[in-house]
Homo-oligomer: A and B are copies of this chain.
Amino acid sequence: MKKIAILTGGGDAPGLNAVIRAAVKTAIYEYGCEVIGVRNGYDGFIEEEGIVPLEIKDVRGILPRGGTILGTVNRGNPYARRIIRDGKEVTIDVSDEIIKGIERLKVDALLVLGGDGTLHIAHELSQKGAPVIGVPKTIDNDIGGTERTFGFDTAVNTATEAIDKLHTTAESHHRVMVLELMGRDAGFIALHAGIAGGSDVILIPEIPFKYATVLAKVSKRVERGYKFSILAVSEGAKSVDGEQVFSRSGDEIYTPRLGGIGQKVGEFIELNGFETRVTVLGHLQRGGIPTPYDRWLATRYGAAAVRLAATGKFDRMVALREAKVTDISLEEALAVPKRVNVNSDAVLTARNMGISFGDQ
């Protein structure tokens, strides 16, 4: 193994730099390898100035920094590159060019740090001969075959701190506070932060909710003397009622204003007589200094990925299982995306706490 390339794809996640640093150090110290960085996702292989050398000095001090020194793009699928041709937007396949770039650079192993989408592409490029090793990255924790992705712990921390902050205002002002969190298909952030922050309602994509049930929970708390409530809502939470929002009387229907599900839930509760505030945490969840846990996991992933590359096994992904870093095939990892298990002890615990998922 003489040359390793590293690329980062998809949304930002705290810990990317820690993986890069660990991979560079392991490659250079342990294997005497050359390391190159691919800038802004797969595009780096076909763009000018897309490749940068990575030496020890380039990774100094980056361990606690969010973001990625390599840059990233959200929609960088080489199988469906959108370009403007003759004034019209068309979709073309540039995957062969990527492969050529990898071959031309004589890359012995390509570490791909990404989420579901980026890893799917890695797996496909692997079919065309690219020596790919995946490193699972997503703040949503929704990649199969691994107990944990890096970035998730930091996102949960940011979300929980937000709940902590809303708590005092909610209590002092007797208000309902709705916090919309990331999670389009998987509700892990809302579930973890909701439990860790002591929220009263958690709405996640895996458990469809009823507006009326959520309202009943808020009302019941008021009856018991708790004039405030905290709702942690995944952006991908769905109601079984669809999009309609009903007034107190129940027979008037309002068209919900623009906005996500957090806005709709908040509006519904406000319409039914409880002063409500909605906060959308948004990109704050992707940034910041990675937590010690994420730096720890990311560093182990980065080193393990290089050790795996040295064994010559590709089309695989490093993964955490039973608290150990091991590796699995990308095919297995991507077969079934991870979702909140609605029968897990975690969900059961939330119910034990009196937290409502809006379903019963």
Task: Give chain A's interface residues, CB within 8 Å of chain B.
Answer: 8, 11-12, 14, 16, 22, 25-26, 29-30, 63-68, 71-74, 147-148, 153, 156-162, 164-169, 171-174, 177, 192-193, 195-198, 257-258, 277, 279-284, 286-289, 291-293, 295-296, 299-300, 303-304, 306-307, 321-326, 344-346, 348-349, 352-354
Contact = CB atoms under 8 A, between A and B. Distances in A.
Interface centre among A147, A148, A165, A174 (most CB of B within 10 A): A165
A71 B299 contact: no
Given A68-B172, A173-B72, A346-B300, A283 B287 contact: no
20 contacts: A12-B173, A26-B353, A29-B353, A63-B196, A66-B168, A66-B169, A72-B172, A73-B173, A153-B293, A158-B165, A164-B287, A167-B287, A192-B296, A196-B292, A196-B295, A258-B258, A300-B345, A303-B345, A304-B349, A325-B349
Nearest to A306: B352
A22 B198 CA distance: 10
A352 B30 contact: yes
A282 B277 contact: yes
Given A64-B164, A288-B168, A303-B348, A196 B296 contact: yes
Contact of A177 (B30, B167, B283): B283
Contacts of A196: 63, 292-293, 295-296, 299
Select the residue from A11, A22, A156, A283 with max chain B CB neighbours within 10 A.
Answer: A283
Nearest to A297: B196
Copies in the complex: 4
Contact of A354 (B25, B192, B324): B25
Contacts of A74: 173
B157 A292 contact: yes
Contacts of A168: 12, 14, 65-67, 287-288
A148 B345 CA distance: 16
A63 to B, nearest CB: 5
Contacts of A258: 257-258
Contact of A169 (B159, B283, B296, B324): B283
Nearest to A175: B283
A192 B295 CA distance: 9
B322 A169 contact: no
A283 B292 contact: no
Contacts of A193: 292
A345 to B, nearest CB: 5
Contacts of A66: 165, 167-169, 172
Nearest to A57: B225
